[in-house]
Structure 1
Amino acid sequence: MESYPPVFRCQQTTTLHPDDTSHDPIHYPDLVPVIDLQSLNHEDDANNIINKKILEEACEDWGLFRLVNHGVPPTLLKQLQELARELFTLPFESKKAAYSGAAPVTYFWGTALVTQSGTAVTRDPQNINWVEGFSVPLNHLSSFHPQLPTLESIKLLLMDYETHLSRIATTLFEAMAKNLDLNLETSKSYLSVDTGMVRVYRYPHGSVGWGMEVHTDSSILSILNQDDQVSGLEVLKDDRWLIVKPISNTLIVNLGDMMQAISNDRYKSVSHRVKVSKNNDRISICYFVFPGEDVVIESSKYKPFTYNEFSAQVQQDKKALGYKVGLARFSQKQDC
């Protein structure tokens, strides 16, 4: 238990929020759309046409899909999971002393969100998210010198992982841009692999509670290497919560707010949440990629804005209101 932040040690249960209890997740057979990345790379392949159609429907109807044949070695995915689990078993005080508020890598707990200053945001112990994590901006990895040996090992793996994930994100975005009939030269600036970052999460086990409350990501794309033994991710589809089952050697891709804006609301930024397991800690590793900070996003549904402006508004709203308002702040028909 000494590896857990103190707030998790003394609290074995949490209380579900009233608006979460009305929609229990449904244990359907796995219905998440499956995209074969290898086929998307072959323009003349008949399977490419099928995959592009599945991708289009997944982006419009789900905002999320499962990726296979993605080219990331299974050994790399497994090693990242194993080292992440080892990292989180270190004493809390060691993790806190090494990385709380220290740029570029930050350590946080009690919330899935990190402020612009890099400090962890914690709330009332009765209403915290059951999560701890490390936030790693990938463009600083080469110059980063970890103070914890386990993180040094993860650093080397993440440098390899970044190469694969930036390739995947670029391939997927270009396929989406073609489906949306966007000008490829113009739209290329929307996705900047230099903004890529990874958050490594541990969700401590507990009786009842949320690792992350309902939210949408602010990214263009989020690519998840989730624990292949412990489920927890749930996605909102047609006003019902569906469990996204863990399947080895697959990645889960979900669209964020920036992709919804770029698509002029044709694609959806999917609402999702994470439920903690009663008996087992859950590890997940998520890659996020954004537009360049000063790139202006324009569409008929939203006022022109940059990601910098969007991020600043999100931080302002969380400070003033306690939650993220998101794209509604930039709607041409603003009602908030």
Structure 2
Amino acid sequence: MSTAAVSDRAEEMKRFNEMKGGVKSLVDAGITELPTIFVHPPEILETKPNGVADGDLPTVDFGARREVVVESIRRAASEWGFFRITNHGVPAEVMDGVLAAGRRFHEQPTEEKAALYSTDSRQSVRFNSNGHALKDDDIACWKDMLTCVYADDRLDPAEIPPVCRREFGEYVEHMVRVRETLAELLSEALGLESQHLSKMECMKSEALACIYYPVCPEPAKTFGNSKHSDATFLTLLIQDTVGGLQVLHDGRWVDVAPVAGTLIANIGDLMQIISNDKFVSVEHKVRASTGGPRVSVACFFTPSVKAMGKAFAPMKELISEENPALYREFFFGEYCRHYKTKGYNRPAFSRYRI
């Protein structure tokens, strides 16, 4: 991209952020063409083969016998990196409630949301368009986000907008319970004692993100969310009925259709590293669409404040002469900074391979 083009893009991005209304404000203004900052190059948009049905996406039934659940998770985490969860204990009304509350927030007038608009990741509760400050030559995706960060499972409820405060707080309480169950099951699936991951505190904090994908006037030119893997240890997701999520599996983009009452779990980059590739973090994306709008709620699990000060590496219990460590040590903050600058070409964790 030429210097002039980068400069023009930077100015357009600056104007967009100064509006403090996100993508929804563009839709409300009645635009019929995408602003340049959202237009992705054809080589990035190329997705063939595309849209394969998700009939083979693993489903883990928490109501099954323990050994069956552990084996189901082991296979799903090692072969797909993504799986659905049923009988997880989160009431349907709580799941529906948090999706509805997130929609209420995003569909408020811009002036009701503008005070929270920020690209500063240090802000515990923030509203913005793409999750973090984009570089001048970055390309934006067609989405808005409300993110609430619970450090060590704690966030002052007064910081959360009243329009969604009760529902977000209730949902996070359930996410913490599911996380504790999954921490045990993932530990056992790795052949470790059940409290191993919990003792590491690698999933003790969470960021709850309600993502709003407005109707797009030119969906063939952009993404709802471009191809990426998650810079987390674990992510739990719910989505409304619109659909659009796709997962890369065996070279195919697989449509992950909405299934009422289920959670979608995916392994993050950092879990792949500490498991020494026993579990896999896979790329996924969200299509932009003329349908919708689409709403999803993702819960991203990251280390405790204490654990962020310690180096992570493949767990020594998984390392042997026959299975040497595949990654070097890293700090969570270092990894996140690299993740935001890596671009499209390769997953962030490849930098840490030995």
| Letter of the structure 1 residue corresponding to residue 178 of structure 2 | I
CA positional deviation for 1:186: 4.8
Shift of 1:15: 5.1
Q: Distance in 2 between matches of 1:168 and 1:180?
A: 18
Aligned equivalent of 1:269, options 267, 271, 281: 281
Match of 1:86 in 2: 104
Q: 2: distance between equivalents of 1:36 and 1:263?
A: 23
1:240-260, CA deviations, whole angstroms, 9 ceiling, x for partnerless residues?
Answer: 001000011111101100110
SS in 1 for 2:162: helix
Deviation for aligned residue 1:121: 2.8
The aligned counterpart of 2:198 is: 188
Q: Secondary structure at the match of 1:141?
A: coil
Contact 1:30 1:245 in 2 (8 A): no
Aligned partners of 2:310 and 2:170: how far apart in 1?
27
* Residue of structure 1 in register with 2:72 after alignment: 54
Q: Calculate percent identity across the aligned residue pairs.
A: 25
Q: Map of 1:239-278 to 2, 5 A cutoff?
A: 239-278=251-290
Moved >6 Å (runs of 4+): none
- Gap regions ≥5 residues in structure 2: 1-20, 315-324
Counting only pairs closer than 5 Å after superposition, residues 51-200 of structure 1 correspond to structure 2 as 51-100=69-118, 103-109=123-129, 111=130, 113-114=131-132, 120-121=133-134, 127-139=139-151, 140-146=154-160, 151-182=161-192, 184=194, 186-200=196-210
- Measure the CA separation in 1 of the matches of 2:32 and 2:113: 20
Report if aligned partners of 1:136, 1:199 keep a CA contact under 8 Å in 2.
Answer: yes
CA contact (8 A) 1:3 1:88 kept: no
Q: Provide closer, same or farther for how the CA distance between residues 270 and 67 of structure 1 changes in structure 2, counting only shifts above 3 A.
A: same
User: In the TM superposition, what is the alpha-carbon distance from 1:7 to its structure 2 partner?
Assistant: 4.9
What is the letter of the counterpart of residue 198 of structure 1?
L
Rounded Cα–Cα distance in structure 2 between residues aligned with 1:3 and 1:89? 11
Q: Are positions 1:295 and 2:325 aligned together?
A: no
- One-letter amino acid matched to 2:279: Y
Checking the alignment, whether the CA contact within 8 Å between 2:149 and 2:207 is kept in structure 1 is yes
Deviation at 1:84, TM superposition (A): 1.3
Residues in 1 aligned to 2:110 and 2:134: alpha-carbon distance in whole angstroms:
17
Alignment of 1:216-231 (within 5 A): 216-227=229-240, 229-231=241-243
Residue 278 of structure 2 aligns to a residue whose secondary structure is coil
TM-score by length of 2: 0.79
Report deviation, 1:32.
1.2
Deviates more, 1:261-270 or 1:302-311: 302-311
1:27 and 1:240, CA in 2 relative to 1: closer, same or farther beyond 3 A?
Answer: closer
CA contact (8 A) 2:213 2:294 kept: yes
For 1:186 and 1:284, how far apart are their aligned partners in 2? 30
Matching of residue 327 in structure 1 with residue 340 in structure 2: no
1:126-170 Cα distance to aligned partner (Å, 9 max, x none): x42000011101245335344xxxx32422222221221111112
Return the structure number with greater strand share. Answer: 1
Q: Give the match's secondary structure for 1:293.
A: helix
Partner of 1:213: 226
1:298 match: secondary structure: coil
Secondary structure of 1:164 counterpart? helix
Q: Cα distance 1:82–1:68, how it changes in 2: closer, same or farther (>3 A)? A: same
Residues 74-117 of structure 1 show CA distances to partners (whole Å, capped at 9, x for unaligned) of 111111111211111112243123443583211111x2x32xxx
CA RMSD of aligned residues (A): 2.5
Task: Name the CA shift for 1:308/1:182 in 2 (closer, same or farther; >3 Å).
Answer: farther
Is the 1:191–1:289 Cα contact (8 Å) retained in structure 2?
no
Alpha-carbon offset, residue 183 of structure 1:
5.1
Distance 2:168 2:52 in 1: 33
- Cα distance in 2 for residues equivalent to 1:190 and 1:17: 43
Instruction: Name the aligned partner's letter for residue 244 of structure 2.
Output: G
Equivalent residues of 1:141, 1:159 under 8 A apart: no
Q: What is the CA–CA distance in structure 1 between the aligned matches of 2:119 and 2:237, rounded to whole Å?
A: 24
Q: Do 2:47 and 2:253's aligned partners in 1 also have CA atoms closer than 8 Å?
A: no
Unaligned runs of 5+ in 1: 40-46, 115-119
Report the TM-score when normalising by structure 1: 0.83
Counterparts of 1:154 and 1:288, CA distance in 2: 18
Q: Secondary structure at the match of 1:248?
A: coil
Q: Which residue of 1 aligns with 2:335?
A: 310
Please say if 1:17 is aligned against 2:42. Answer: yes
Measure how far apart 1:178 and its partner are.
Answer: 1.4
